[in-house]
Amino acid sequence: MEISHKEIYMNKFGDERLDKRANKVSAMLYFGQTSSIHEMSSDEAEQKAAYRFLANEKVEESKLIATAIERSSYLSADKDILVLQDTSEINLDNHRNRLKRGSGIGLTGNDKDLGFFLHGSLVLDAGTEVILGYSNIQLWHREEDKLDKEERNYKYQPIEEKESYKWIKACNESKDHLLQARTITFIEDREGDIYHQFATVPDDRTHLIIRSRDNRRLSDGSKLFDKLRKQPVAGQYEISIVKDIRKGVESRTAIVEVRYCKVSIARREPLKKTGLPESVELYAIEVTEINPPKGVIKVCWRLLTTHPVMTFEEAVNIVKKYRLRWYIEQLFRLLKKKGFKIESSELETGWAIRKLTVMILSSALRVMQLLLAYNKEDSQPVEQVFNQKEINCLKAINETLQGETEKSKNKNNPTKLSWATWIIARLGGWKNYNSKRPPGPIILKKGLDRFANIYQGWNLAQNE
């Protein structure tokens, strides 16, 4: 049974007043789609109550995280699950004169700016690609007086004392949390290419798909990249490259060739005393673009996985799963400049901003659910994301957005979320032209903002 956003914090804090206020703030985030307490509050009293709630020491970050990940546990039962992991930096340096030091913030990626880190694990149903929630959320910061890598003898530090342990911790805690799942596959970018993870995380129901960072030494003395390059081409296929302004990537269709082989990666010398096995057997895949356009960086992905890869089709399936990592990147994008703008929060302590961030993660799922539902006939039921009153309002809006031609109509099934995605995207400024790319998270965020305003007026009119 689905739990309403109005009820998710019931019996969480051991104080009925705090439970009610948590649900109130959650609803404000859900409908307001902003991190600004001022903007999402209807009056000064509500604004002050939200500030007090986030500043209250009884409102523990750990309890908010436990609530945010709760839903995915029972929704994953008897399913094959994908867990997309990534880290984002919440940079608050523009507010350093206002933020209280020692209040949950510290140094970030460049070891100069103030803020904190967020490591998230986004859970998807492997069969339908429907988002089920989160399985792990970690927040931390670097101390301002921390030792550098040489002083810490970083190379020989136990993995548990390194920041990179976040990947392994997320896997282990997710495995416990998703205990009812049939299988779990963790999908990570290059930062997750850690020998300790390959040696300890996989088991009979747990797999890894990780982009290779290093040209690892193999047990036979060769190097990973060299061995992949020597493999015969198993096949070719086309992939769509999504435009990414930040990375200077333009949208295009790329033709890629695929190679794969079984490899045995060797344990490095610094790990000799860890008790880890001398080698780990994996499957390696290389995807390389053929004849890329002049001036663009060609596609070249090398993936390591514990899933058996014996055919071209199996290799392509692994690549397709890896590319779903894009969704957690979009989730983090939603948190920032053009989305919820968490880095512009007016709160005065890091602890309060961290707690607000966790609550926003739950609200941002609505945008991500819409994103994944675009143009999918088998998308999740619309009532899992919108209540009946909201659906009725969407029906009324849908009639005003459709044109006379077939191309301008919403052809999606009204019982599916893809139908709502079309409407919200149009409200956000998406033009629905064939030449236009699918609506992105920021367009959907803008659409939800506008829908919230329309719904408020529509609801008042219905109650007259």
Q: What is the pLDDT of residue 432?
A: 75
Q: What is the pLDDT of residue 146?
A: 64
Classify residue 143: in a domain, yes or no.
no
Any alpha helices (H) in 255-349, and if so which ranges? 312-323, 326-335
Q: Which residue has the tokens 């890894």?
A: 208
User: Using CA atoms, how far apart are residues 140 and 127, in angstroms rounded to an integer?
Assistant: 33
Q: Which residue has the tokens 């607000």?
A: 356
Q: How far is CA 83 from the centre of its chain?
A: 9
451 φ, ψ (degrees, to nearest 5): -60, -40
Q: One digit per residue, pLDDT tens: the chain, 464 residues?
A: 343 455 688 888 888 999 988 888 887 777 666 777 877 787 888 889 988 999 999 999 999 999 999 989 999 999 999 999 999 999 999 988 888 878 889 998 888 899 999 999 999 999 988 899 999 999 999 987 665 666 556 666 888 889 999 999 999 999 999 999 999 999 999 999 999 999 999 999 999 999 999 999 999 999 999 999 999 999 999 998 877 766 667 778 899 999 999 999 999 888 887 889 999 999 999 999 998 888 888 899 999 999 999 999 999 999 999 999 989 998 998 888 778 889 988 888 999 999 999 999 988 888 888 888 888 888 888 988 888 989 999 999 999 998 888 778 899 999 999 999 999 999 999 987 654 678 888 888 889 888 988 988 888 887 75
3-state secondary structure 151-166: HHCHHHCCHHHCCCHH
Classify residue 391: in a domain, yes or no.
yes
pTM for this model (two decimals): 0.89
Classify residue 408: in a domain, yes or no.
yes
Q: How many domains does the chain have?
A: 1
Classify residue 426: in a domain, yes or no.
yes
User: Using CA atoms, how far apart are residues 2 and 143, in angstroms rounded to an integer?
Assistant: 40
Classify residue 392: in a domain, yes or no.
yes
Residues spanned by the domain of 386 = 374-462
Classify residue 455: in a domain, yes or no.
yes
Q: What is the pLDDT of residue 3?
A: 39
292 Cβ neighbours under 8 A, 6+ residues apart: 254, 298, 299
Which residues in 339-352 are b (16+ Cβ under 10 Å) and which e?
bbbbbebebebbbb
CB 441 within 8 A of CB 329: no
Q: Please, is 84 exposed, middle or buried when counting C-beta atoms within 10 Å of its C-beta (0-12, 13-18, 19+)? A: buried
Q: What is the CA radius of gyration of the chain?
A: 23
Classify residue 309: in a domain, yes or no.
no
Q: How many other CB atoms sit within 10 Å of the CB of residue 252?
A: 15
CB 291 within 8 A of CB 268: no
Classify residue 412: in a domain, yes or no.
yes
Q: Please, is 246 exposed, middle or buried when counting C-beta atoms within 10 Å of its C-beta (0-12, 13-18, 19+)? A: exposed
Handedness of CA 73, 75, 77, 82 (dihedral sign): negative
CATH code at position 395: 1.10.740.10
Question: What are the distances in angstroms from CA 20 to CA 12, 48, 53, 267, 363?
Answer: 10, 15, 10, 52, 17
Using alpha carbons, select from 168, 204, 194 the residue that is nearest to residue 85. Answer: 168
